[in-house]
Amino acid sequence: MRRGVAAPCFADDPLELVELGVAAQAAGFDGYFLWDHLNFTNDESGPSIVDPWLVLALVAARTTTLKLGTMITPISRRRPAVLARQTTTLDLISHGRLILGVGIGSPARGDFEMFGDQADAALRAEMLDEGLAVLDALWGGERVDWHGKHYTVDGVRFRPRPVQRPRIPVWVGGTLPHRKPMSRAARWDGAVPITWADGRLARPSALQIGGVRDQVLAERGGVDGFDLAVWAEVATDLDAVAAELPAYREAGATWWIETAKPEPGWLVQLQDRIRANF
């Protein structure tokens, strides 16, 4: 099972997040992921936010083995053609280390409606599916003619292609126990199931992870090459985490990603966790 850390894209100084990613590779982590938000509250009181793509480009330039990506990018507020250029460029800079995490995103008002973007979850899901199809076609390097409900590409060929073949891996995030997001994930390359407890994100149980694996297996006909990530809390007791990992591995998890909760002191908590990995 690979190990990763994930950080909110919250900072007054973007270089703090760059240094965090560089330190993650030095400490032996396999992946470094950033949230992708424009705003994190439903008013003007949210945290300072920086662009995750620019941060990840700098991390890519200063690392060699670390997998990099966003968790998650809501396709509905991105033009797929622009995203195709950005992801291809980052895959080239990193020599094929990019993972694209996608989903419908949240909060619906603060990250969408306040900017004039689509707030309806069902329509954002439609745009996610169509946008991914357009993105995949553009990555392929052949002529793309697409006239869909939400997007149009009128006879365009994108070059260069990403390093990775057949495409940059796409992981789909979604909330359990809903099955539709995991059905979407089964059509791509990985799943990042999440749960809620007491109004906040919580780590899925090994039993829930096994349920996602079984669903993906049934819908794909196999799980070879498919990643299943556990979205976990930042560990404070490494021995306790080590004791839990076998059950998750047996359930089919291929990644264990520790992510900070957006609370005061989260950056120091992640810095301490990374130092503890040495």
Domain regions of the chain by residue span: 2-272
Mean pLDDT for the chain overall: 95
**Residue range 49-53: average pLDDT?**
97
pLDDT digits (tens, 9 = 90+) for 1-42: 999 999 999 999 999 999 999 999 999 999 999 999 999 988
Distance (Å, rounded) from C-alpha 189 to C-alpha 192? 11
Distance (Å, rounded) from C-alpha 254 to C-alpha 248? 9
- The whole-model pTM stands at 0.96
Q: Which of 174, 195, 199 is nearest to 184 (CA)?
A: 174
Number of H helices, E strands in the chain: 8, 11
pLDDT digits (tens, 9 = 90+) for 57-68: 999 999 999 999
**Residue range 70-95: average pLDDT?**
97
pLDDT digits (tens, 9 = 90+) for 161-219: 999 999 999 999 999 999 999 999 999 999 999 998 877 788 999 999 999 999 999 99
Q: Which of 36, 34, 40, 44 is nearest to 76 (CA)?
A: 36
One CATH from 3.40.50.620, 3.40.250.10, 3.20.20.30, 2.40.50.60 for 2-272 = 3.20.20.30
Asked if 139 and 85 count as a contact pair (C-beta separation under 8 A), the reply is: no
Distance (Å, rounded) from C-alpha 167 to C-alpha 75? 17
DSSP assignment string, 5-54 = EEE-SB-SSHHHHHHHHHHHHHTT-SEEEE---S-SSSSTT---B--HHH
More confident residue, 157 or 278: 157
pLDDT digits (tens, 9 = 90+) for 111-122: 999 999 999 999
Distance (Å, rounded) from C-alpha 174 to C-alpha 70? 14
Indicate the residue type of 144.
Answer: V
Asked if 172 and 191 count as a contact pair (C-beta separation under 8 A), the reply is: yes
Report pLDDT for 278. 62
Report pLDDT for 52. 97
pLDDT band at residue 131, thresholds of 50, 70 and 90?
very high
Residues facing residue 10 across a β-bridge: 49
Report pLDDT for 200. 76
pLDDT digits (tens, 9 = 90+) for 139-157: 999 999 999 999 999 999 9
